Structure 1
């Protein structure tokens, strides 16, 4: 089959008014010509981002332009896009790919512009934090598009600029327990299996400003609050001490909307709405007081039965929320069994 000439696809792309057809033409351009005529395809997309008639596609093409551009290319285009509200958010990534640290000045200026889109200003600060290793994004949501104006640490950014853009130290990875590398007990082996799956997810996507999918050594202060409130089975207590989950989310069809597994830092708050009413500061009468919520799937709780501790472990029960009353069913005979199930699903 003959390959459609690049010029013909170029004309069709600019003439097309149907978004779905445009998407197919764009994909054809990339598939047929993206490798051998990379620069030509990149320039076509740049031209469309500047003046194409489908406004939403002018924005969507930015990710393709960034992918096609090599370091050192398209700096003028990405710089110009910083002044175009619809393109400025993605232009930040283009600036870094094209210019590296030479983009610092332009992106600090964008972050300081009160008339610019908040999402673009936040994206600039997030990018500066990642590239420089400075903690401008500490404790904030991974997606800067969700940051609030008061969360922009602009004073810190400007002070960093005045100091000559020094490199920071970034964020240290959470501390993990050595037994994950050499597990011996049934609990350790289950945790190690889960850690192996989580590590694969972290390699695909991880932002240490707000780490996720980690099994880490817990903060003693969090453990102290837990010990003061509950007498936990030995296996679950050791799990929290050595392998406390940090934003562990298991996306699997067996769990409605995915399973969130709680760590020591969030265990007390995780009881809110189930065992505890944070508004009235009272226990919820309908909740079995011996059930400790350790995970949830779309608000369906998974609970340890602290009244049935045996040999250092306890069974796990679950129930559907929103049914008018709780109807619990036994889900796993022990926490270790539950942990093995999670590890298999991750």
Structure 2
């Protein structure tokens, strides 16, 4: 296929009125010309973001513009974009990428402006946190579009500004048990296998402000709370103590609705809605007392049966479907270690 000259693509983009056709033209522009004619492509995209006739595409192009920009040549464009409500969200990252610390003052002003949308204010704080390594986003959803107004840590941001915008320490990766790299027992080998698969998920997407898909060392307080509720078999208790899942979520053909594997900090509270009433904290009489919910997929519980130990001290995993008018449990895997292998294969 012949390469369409850049000037011709430029004209076609500005003349196109069909969104789907525009998308194909834009992808052709990036694929065929961005590598060798980056600045010329940026000029086309920024010109469209300013004056293009497809208004929604003016906004959608911003992420491509931010990706392509290098240095401060387009700083004026991003400063202008911050003043455009439909472009400001990605304009935040563009200004940081093109001007670095010089973007701090205008972005703090944006974050504290009551005239700016919540989404853009949250984006400004999130991007400032990432760039400066300050903990303005600690424990908050990775997507600032999900933040609430009360989660904007404006006092901390303003204190940071008053202190002269110092760099922060960033976030440390969660603490993990040494046996994940030197496994010996069946449990250790299964956990190490799961950890390798979770590491691949973390490579694709990870935000240490709220880390996900880790196997971590549990706190003493969490283990004490668990021990106050159950006498767990050694294999599962050790799993929670050494390899407590932290926001572990996997999906795929085995778990079409996605499976959440509970950690030590979640386990007691996770019984609510199953063994414990979700609103009023009392036990549900119809729930089998020796079943502990250790995971769920779309609300379907996966449980260990505390009275059915295998020869080596492991426990079978049962599953039931929710919304059927009553719990009907079926054997899912013969033991917990087999369940871990299944989760790893799905990750």
TM-score (ref. length: structure 2): 0.97
Cα separation, 2, equivalents of 1:110 and 1:133: 19
Q: Map of 1:148-167 to 2, 5 A cutoff?
A: 148-167=148-167
Q: Is structure 2 residue 60 aligned with structure 1 residue 36? A: no
Cα separation, 2, equivalents of 1:223 and 1:309: 21
Aligned to 2:342: 341
Give 1:90 deviation, angstroms. 0.7
Aligned to 1:238: 238
Give 1:145 deviation, angstroms. 0.7
Q: Is structure 2 residue 191 aligned with structure 1 residue 191? A: yes
Cα separation, 2, equivalents of 1:313 and 1:32: 57
Aligned to 1:319: 320
5+ residue gaps in structure 2?
A: none
Give 1:282 deviation, angstroms. 1.3
Cα separation, 1, equivalents of 2:45 and 2:320: 51
Give 1:15 deviation, angstroms. 1.2
Q: Is structure 2 residue 213 aligned with structure 1 residue 213? A: yes
Cα separation, 2, equivalents of 1:36 and 1:313: 59
Q: Secondary structure at the match of 2:92?
A: helix
Aligned to 2:333: 332
Aligned to 1:10: 10
Cα separation, 1, equivalents of 2:43 and 2:174: 43
Give 1:236 deviation, angstroms. 0.5
Cα separation, 2, equivalents of 1:110 and 1:334: 54
Give 1:202 deviation, angstroms. 1.4
When the two chains are superposed, the root-mean-square deviation of aligned CA atoms in Å is 1.1
Q: Secondary structure at the match of 1:110?
A: helix
Cα separation, 2, equivalents of 1:83 and 1:190: 53
Give 1:93 deviation, angstroms. 1.2
Q: Is structure 2 residue 178 aligned with structure 1 residue 178? A: yes
5+ residue gaps in structure 1?
A: none
Aligned to 1:104: 104
Cα separation, 2, equivalents of 1:50 and 1:44: 10
Aligned to 1:302: 302
Q: Secondary structure at the match of 1:50?
A: helix
Aligned to 2:46: 46
Q: Is structure 2 residue 229 aligned with structure 1 residue 229? A: yes
Cα separation, 1, equivalents of 2:73 and 2:251: 38
Q: Secondary structure at the match of 1:277?
A: coil
Answer yes or no: is the 8 Å Cα contact 2:78–2:94 preserved in 1: yes
Tell me the matched-pair count.
346
Aligned to 2:136: 136
Answer yes or no: is the 8 Å Cα contact 2:122–2:145 preserved in 1: yes
Cα separation, 2, equivalents of 1:7 and 1:40: 10
Q: Please give the per-residue CA displacement for 1:292-335, whole angstroms capped at 9, x wherever unaligned.
A: 11011111111001121233211000011111111111011111
Give 1:252 deviation, angstroms. 1.5
Q: Secondary structure at the match of 1:101?
A: helix
Q: Secondary structure at the match of 1:35?
A: coil
Give 1:72 deviation, angstroms. 2.4
Q: Secondary structure at the match of 2:127?
A: helix
Cα separation, 1, equivalents of 2:13 and 2:337: 57
Cα separation, 1, equivalents of 2:4 and 2:33: 9
Cα separation, 2, equivalents of 1:195 and 1:280: 37
Q: Secondary structure at the match of 1:166?
A: coil
